[in-house]
């Protein structure tokens, strides 16, 4: 199920892809990323010159929020993915996208997970939110509509969420943080960016194979954790 931690001698082609993606995304995210992402990226010391060591990142994340990183060879189905979240473990795909998929990768890859997700795991609010989603998903029976709703909530927050900061929507979802194409689509004035409403998010269809039809903006970062009680009521999880 899990793969061996990548060594420091990652193939030169992968290093080049990491470097190009790192440069492009950090430039695009200037004044567009949520403070939690920028702070997490700085605290982890990620650099353009080398793909980070997953074990070292995992140790840092664990010290801060009690989460560990789990290297995997490929993306998981939602059931296995949420099971890891319930155990405070986040899967990191060890393969990086090919050059032809620089702008948009339909599947999570090494860059998406390390650059997009891991800095956000240093934020206690988001880390606790993901843990709650994993536990809630585990509590629902297989085939329950609630599981699809929980997947939608994860998708439109941790993958494609924005938050209002200093009167501007800032990006915090990994699918945005790691994709130049998704960022350009999101900030286009014709793309709907709706105020986050839990009931609306839960019934919004999910698609990971194209740019999103709309995005949801949290009015404040605290609302991410505040919606947990509301979610419990809507799904009868409490």
The whole-number pLDDT of residue 179 equals 95
Assign 1 a pLDDT band (cuts: 50, 70, 90): very low
Q: Rounded to whole angstroms, how far apart are CA atoms 155 and 147?
A: 12
Instruction: For residue range 79-116, list pLDDT tens digits in order.
Output: 999 999 999 999 999 999 988 888 888 889 999 999 99
| Cα separation, 66 vs 68, whole angstroms | 7
Contact assessment for residue 127 and residue 108, using Cβ atoms and an 8 Å cutoff? no
What kind and span of H or E run contains 136?
Answer: helix 124-139
* CATH class held by domain 12-235: mainly alpha
Q: Is the model's pLDDT at 238 over the cut of 60?
A: no
Q: Which pLDDT tens digit goes with each residue over 30-68?
A: 999 999 999 999 999 999 999 999 999 999 999 999 999
The secondary structure of the chain in percent helix, strand, coil, rounded to multiples of 5, reads: 55, 10, 35
Domain regions of the chain by residue span: 12-235
209 pLDDT exceeds 90? no
Q: Can you tell me the mean pLDDT for 21-34?
A: 96
pLDDT band at 2 (very low <50, low <70, confident <90, very high): very low
The yes-or-no verdict on residue 8 having pLDDT over 50 is: no
pLDDT-derived band at 15, boundaries 50, 70, 90: very high
pLDDT for the residue numbered 105 = 81
> Which two three-digit tokens encode residue 63?
């010290």
Give the pLDDT score at 3: 39
Mean pLDDT of the chain: 90
Residue 133 pLDDT > 70, yes or no?
yes
Q: Averaged over 176-204, what is the pLDDT? A: 95
For residues 144 and 34, the model is more confident at 34
Say what the pLDDT of residue 67 is.
98
- pLDDT confidence tier of residue 236, bands split at 50, 70 and 90: low
Residue 216: beta bridge partners? 194
Containing 163, the helix (H) or strand (E) segment is: strand 162-165
Mean pLDDT for the stretch of residues 119-143? 94
Cα–Cα distance for residue pair 169/165, rounded to 1 Å:
6
Question: By three-state DSSP, how is residue 171 classified?
Answer: strand
Residue-level pLDDT at 9? 41
**pLDDT score, position 100:** 81
For residues 8 and 100, the model is more confident at 100
The Cα-based distances of 120 to 11, 34, 39, 123, 135 in angstroms read 27, 10, 9, 6, 19
Report whether 147 contacts 159 (CB < 8 A): no
């Amino acid at each position: 199920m899990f793969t061996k931690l990548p060594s420091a001698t990652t193939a030169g082609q992968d290093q080049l892809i990491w470097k190009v993606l790192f440069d492009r995304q950090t430039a695009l995210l200037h004044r567009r990323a949520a403070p939690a992402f920028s702070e997490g990226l700085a605290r982890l010391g990620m650099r353009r010159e080398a793909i980070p060591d997953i074990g070292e990142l995992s140790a840092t994340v664990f010290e801060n929020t009690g989460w560990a990183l789990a290297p995997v060879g490929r993306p998981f189905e939602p059931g296995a993915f949420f099971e890891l979240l319930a155990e405070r473990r986040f899967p990191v795909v060890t393969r990086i996208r090919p050059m032809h998929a620089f702008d948009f990768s339909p599947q999570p890859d090494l860059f998406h997970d390390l650059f997009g997700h891991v800095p956000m795991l240093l934020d206690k609010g988001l880390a606790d939110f993901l843990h709650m989603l994993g536990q809630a998903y585990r509590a629902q029976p297989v085939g329950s509509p609630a599981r699809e709703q929980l997947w939608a909530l994860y998708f439109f927050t941790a993958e494609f969420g924005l938050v209002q900061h200093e009167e501007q929507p800032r990006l915090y979802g990994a699918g945005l943080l790691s994709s130049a194409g998704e960022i350009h689509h999101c900030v286009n004035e014709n793309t709907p960016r709706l105020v986050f409403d839990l009931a609306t998010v839960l019934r919004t269809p999910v698609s990971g194979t194209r740019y999103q039809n709309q995005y949801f903006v949290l009015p404040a970062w605290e609302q991410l954790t505040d919606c947990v009680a509301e979610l419990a009521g809507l799904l009868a999880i409490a």
